[in-house]
Amino acid sequence: MSLDPVTALLDIGSKVIDRIFPDPTAAASAKLELLKLQQSGELAIMAAQTDINKVEAGSASLFVSGWRPAIGWVCGAACAWNWIGLPIAMFAAAYLGKTLNLKPADITEMLPVLMGMLGLGGLRTLEKVNGVASK
């Protein structure tokens, strides 16, 4: 594998394409798209962003590496309100004979972010198990 991040991404992308597309024609088409990304410079941008993400995640400062957990807590709080807090509040109000005008949090935009973070959370767990994680 090359030390150049763009070439390394291109090599990895080609290997993944070979495994995903058993049809040689479809694989060749996907590799052509990958080469187009490399020529347009988008692959270099993606590689640079990956390096930035690594530096951010390795920071000991909460203000640098803590934004991902903060977003996770906000999404988790919205889910907790919708599925735990709101039903309990409505039940308690009904039990006491009161009416509450409470609405659920709109999580249509937060849920995809949370699902993506949970997918990435699996990689974080793998880092911790392998002893690579900073904390």
Tokens of 22: 């058993």
What is residue 2's predicted lDDT score, i.e. its pLDDT? 47
pTM given for the model: 0.43
Nearest Cα neighbor of 84 from 100, 110, 69, 104 is: 104
Q: Where are the domains of the chain?
A: 1-58, 61-135
Q: Please check whether residue 34 is in contact with residue 13, taking contact to mean a CB–CB distance below 8 angstroms.
A: yes
Strands (E), 2-55: none
- The rounded distance, in Å, linking the Cα atoms of 100 and 6 is 56
Tokens of 62: 């909460």
- The rounded distance, in Å, linking the Cα atoms of 135 and 128 is 8
Convert the pLDDT of each residue in 61-104 to its tens digit: 665 566 667 787 888 889 899 999 999 999 999 999 999 999 99
| Position 134 confidence tier, pLDDT thresholds 50, 70, 90 | low
The proportion of the chain whose per-residue pLDDT surpasses 90, expressed as a percent, equals 17
